[in-house]
A = this chain, B = another copy of it.
Amino acid sequence: MDTPLQMIINNVSKHIVLTSAEKDIFTGMLQAKNLKRKQPWISTGDVCRHSAFVTAGCLRGYTVDSNGFEHVLSFAPTDWWMADMYSLLTHQPGNLNIEALEDTEMLLLPKTSQEELYKLVPKFERVFRILAEKSLVAYQIRLIDNLSLPAAERYARFCRRYPTLIYQLPQKQIASYIGVTPEFFSKMRKGM
């Protein structure tokens, strides 16, 4: 089984070829952080100062509306990146809560190191360009789905898009992501 450092090297090596020296620069910037199940990493109002790469477990990003209802925005299982991008880029307090859905291990890349990395190893611009584009596409699809598709079709698309997450996640988390109550979600699945 790969070590966490090997996992993150494999992840970025999908997009660029790194020399040993460049790998050392990159991995030297990373900080390991573990979370227990349900432990928060970032809460609304915090300034997000790191990008997180998940090496075990799963993160969940969610927001809480004025009525106290949670709305799940995104999940990051193993081998995915996660951050409150608004807060990370603007240095403003964020709107997201990010917490561990299960015991989770992450490697954190501080924002200041990331900017340094672009100077030292410019090809990392490519890695984060591609990651941002993929994330952007996921948000675009999600927004279109929310605006234009009935709940059953949103669930079908969720299943196609995140096949491994269907069994990993509590049903109420999937319901929240799709934008329905757990009760409606349960009825809907029985009717499918």
Contact = CB atoms under 8 A, between A and B. Distances in A.
Given A64-B148, A128-B129, A143-B73, A90 B122 contact: no
A144 B73 contact: yes
A147 B89 contact: no
Contacts of A46: none
A148 B72 CA distance: 11
A65 B92 CA distance: 35
A163 B86 CA distance: 19
B141 A86 contact: yes
Nearest to A72: B147
B66 A148 contact: yes
A130 to B, nearest CB: 8
A139 interface: yes
Contacts of A149: 65-66
Please state the number of chain copies in the assembly.
2
A135 B137 contact: no
Contacts of A85: 133, 136-137, 140
A118 interface: yes
Interface in A112-146: 118, 122-123, 125-126, 128-129, 132-137, 139-144, 146
A110 interface: no
Query: Which residue of A133, A134, A140, A148 has the most chain B CB atoms within 10 A of its CB atom?
Result: A140
A126 B123 CA distance: 9
Interface of A: 63-66, 69, 71, 73, 84-86, 89-90, 95-96, 118, 122-123, 125-126, 128-129, 132-137, 139-144, 146-150, 179
Given A73-B143, A125-B125, A142-B143, 18 more contacts: A63-B144, A63-B147, A65-B148, A65-B149, A71-B148, A73-B140, A89-B133, A89-B134, A90-B137, A122-B122, A122-B123, A122-B125, A128-B129, A129-B129, A129-B132, A132-B136, A139-B139, A139-B140
